[in-house]
Amino acid sequence: MIRPEQLLGDVLRRWWIILLATLAAATVAYVGTASQEKTYTVSVRVMAIASPPDYWLDLYAKNRLASYKDLINNWSFVNFALTEAGLDLDPGLAQSKLELGHNPDSNIIQIVANDTEPVRAAAIVNALATGFVLQNELDNERLVAQVEEIEERYAGRVNMVQLETANPPTVASGPRVRVNTLAGAVLGFAAGLLIVFGLIYLDDTLRSREQVERYLERPLLAVAPEAATPRGGGGV
Q: Could you report the per-residue pLDDT of 6-24, keeping only the tens digit for each?
A: 778 778 888 999 999 999 9
Run of H or E residues at 186? helix 177-202
What's the pLDDT band for 67 if we cut at 50, 70, 90?
confident
Question: Per mean pLDDT, which range of 59-63, 86-90, 192-196 is the poorest?
Answer: 59-63
Has this prediction a pTM greater than 0.85? no
CATH superfamily label, 40-162: EIF_2_alpha (3.30.70.1130)
Domain with CATH 3.30.70.1130 in the chain: 40-162
Least Cα distance to 68 among 8, 140, 175, 149 occurs for 140
Phi-psi region of 231 (alpha: psi -120 to 50; beta: other; left: phi over 0): alpha
72 burial class (0-12, 13-18, 19+ CB within 10 angstroms)? buried
Sheet holding 108-115, edge to edge: 98-103, 108-115, 40-51, 157-162
Give the integer Cα–Cα distance in Å for 100 and 112.
Answer: 6
Give the whole-angstrom CA distance, residue 108 versus residue 101: 8
Question: At 114, phi and psi to the nearest 5?
Answer: -115, 120
